[in-house]
Amino acid sequence: MIENETIKIIKQRRSIRKFSEKQISENDLNKIIEAGLYAPHGGRDIEQDMHFTIIQNKNILDKLNLLAKEAAKQSEMEWLKDLGNNDDFNCLYNAPALIIISNKENSPCAVYDCSAVTQNILLTAESIGLGSCWLYFPLQAFDYDKNGELMKELKIPQGYKPITSMVIGYKENNIIEIPERKVKNICYIK
């Protein structure tokens, strides 16, 4: 079966959890953010509704990791508590960059819109040789930071809420096994 480049990228993209220390160029970051802006969007103006926070500062990344782990320790879910208490666990997998996508708090489509943007970013990252991993864990830091200092530090505008996050970086290992997937639960109604 002949595949086009888009299908190939979709199939080969995997969640990467081991990154090299090499920082991503501003040019590559701009490419992946631009791709995010072309995602399907339920609102009127994706450029107005979305806010992108790109963090490459190691001190801030470390702080986010610690805040998210503190929040996890208070979770009712045992597996999250275990990760929060694990001194060796880094919820950002030591990636050189974290992207947080926020949307207006009152947007009824925020989760869908940010998810579509995230998928475009993840696929574009793969297409230019970067690894990525879509993450929920770091978003807990915002729940832990009750007074909103983190939002201010990360320059997330008032009235916006962080919805999705992902780490981006160069893969430590480029050999990735692509498992074959068979659809079992599909029903065509004609």
Q: Which residues have C-beta within 8 Å of that of residue 83, sequence separation ≥ 6?
A: 69, 72, 89, 91, 137
**DSSP line for 1-24:** ----HHHHHHHH--B---B-SPPP
Residue in 186, 163, 143 with CA at minimum distance from that of residue 49: 163
Q: Tell me whether residue 188 is in a domain.
A: no
Please give the Cα distance from 1 to 46 (Å, whole number): 36
Q: Tell me whether residue 159 is in a domain.
A: yes
What confidence tens digit (pLDDT) does each residue in 138-152 have? 999 998 887 889 999
Q: Tell me whether residue 6 is in a domain.
A: no
Q: Tell me whether residue 164 is in a domain.
A: yes
Q: Give the CB-side neighbour count of residue 138, counting CA atoms within 13 A.
A: 28
Q: Which residues have C-beta within 8 Å of that of residue 171, sequence separation ≥ 6?
A: 16, 18, 19, 20, 130, 131
Report if pTM > 0.85. yes
Return the pLDDT at 148: 86
**Is 149 within 8 Å of 122 (Cβ atoms)?**
no
Average pLDDT (17-30) is 94
Average pLDDT, the chain: 91
What confidence tens digit (pLDDT) does each residue in 48-106 have? 788 999 999 999 999 999 999 999 999 899 999 999 999 999 999 999 999 999 999 98
Cα distances (Å, whole numbers) of residue 100 to 61, 152, 164, 184: 12, 14, 6, 34
Q: Tell me whether residue 77 is in a domain.
A: yes
Q: Tell me whether residue 104 is in a domain.
A: yes
Please give the Cα distance from 162 to 62 (Å, whole number): 18
User: What is the residue range of 98's domain?
Assistant: 12-169
Q: Tell me whether residue 86 is in a domain.
A: yes
Q: Tell me whether residue 111 is in a domain.
A: yes
CATH number at residue 135: 3.40.109.10
How many domains does the chain contain in total?
Answer: 1
User: For 81-141, where are the E strands, in sequence order?
Assistant: 97-104, 131-135
Q: Which residues have C-beta within 8 Å of that of residue 163, sequence separation ≥ 6?
A: 101, 102, 103, 110, 111, 114, 115, 139
Please give the Cα distance from 58 to 67 (Å, whole number): 14
Return the pLDDT at 135: 97
